Amino acid sequence: MIIIEKITIKDVPVLHIVAKESFDQPLPFIQFIHGFTSAKEHNLHFAYNLAEKGFRVVLPDTLYHGERAANLSGMQLNLKFWDIVLQTIDEIEQVKNYFETKGLIQEDKIGLVGTSMGGIVTLGALSCYPWINTAVCLMGMPYYEKFANYTIQEVTKRGYELPLTEEEIDGLLQRLSELDLSKQPEKLENRPLMFWHGKKDETVPYKYSRQFYEAILPLYEAVPEKLSYITEEHTGHKVSRKAMLKTIEWFEEFLQSDASH
């Protein structure tokens, strides 16, 4: 039987999904980060299927989402996008530490997966957390600095005033540059990484994740099986069933077997 436990870790509401019989045993551990304007519950089907395969899965609500929603307009939320990304990267470690101190995580079996904004978070987290052993990026991209600059230009072009001083913008861009995996791909250190992206995606264009994948291919020359890029010709900004099944297979291969070493 699969159980869903609702808990709060510091300020982060999470759903913890695990097989009842393994509830208090150390298991391979996966955090799943939802997309922009989504919420933790929206990925329960994913978590259920992973838990059935023997994983301990945690779905957090990111800042200003789900139970943490603030009464923000669409534009206000858009302006908070990078704050949400940065805070989520910090919170991924807090959530992991909570389960680790309870002895519920198998050593060297920690995975991270995210959709859209969650995929963007996943790639940033890989640049700063060597303890992530395996990752899946669904419809994300790693070009933090480039996209933040683009966002800033778009907002000002539309006549909105950024609620940040020049100094704050510089600070944000500096922090984003430090987490920009496209600038430091060697930090992947051959960890298993799978991408999935629909070719018709207009929200996070497919070409960006594809470009990054092609750029890092040479780094995986000795272990080509640890890098994968899956696409679907006619799929837009929505994770397909095929993507879910491939994600589960990826974690089964690299987070449950000894192939991750």
pLDDT at position 257 is: 65
Q: What is the mean pLDDT of residues 151-156?
A: 83
pLDDT at position 260 is: 41
Q: What is the mean pLDDT of residues 150-171?
A: 86
Of residues 176 and 156, the one with the higher pLDDT is 176
Q: What is the mean pLDDT of residues 125-129?
A: 97
pLDDT at 183 over 80: yes
Distance, CA of 242 to CA of 248 (rounded, Å): 10
* Domains of the chain from N-terminus onward: 2-260 (3.40.50.1820)
pLDDT at 119 over 70: yes
pLDDT at 178 over 50: yes
Residue 31 phi, psi dihedral angles, 5° rounding: -100, 140
Distance, CA of 248 to CA of 227 (rounded, Å): 15
pLDDT at position 92 is: 98
Beta-bridged to residue 18, according to DSSP, are 3
57-80 in b/e form (b: 16+ CB < 10 A) is: bbbbbbbbbbebeeeeeeeebebb
pLDDT at position 261 is: 41
pLDDT at position 122 is: 98
| pLDDT 10s digits, 52-109 | 999 999 999 999 999 999 999 988 898 899 999 999 999 999 999 999 999 999 999 9
| pLDDT 10s digits, 193-245 | 999 999 999 999 999 999 999 999 999 999 999 999 999 999 999 999 999 99
Retrieve residue 91's tokens. 């919170």
140: Cβ–Cβ under 8 A, 6 or more apart, which residues?
Answer: 114, 115, 116, 117, 118, 119, 120, 121, 122, 123, 195, 204, 209
Distance, CA of 211 to CA of 192 (rounded, Å): 18
Residue 165's CB: how many other CB atoms inside 10 A? 9
| pLDDT 10s digits, 132-153 | 999 999 999 999 999 898 888 8
Q: What is the pTM of this model?
A: 0.95
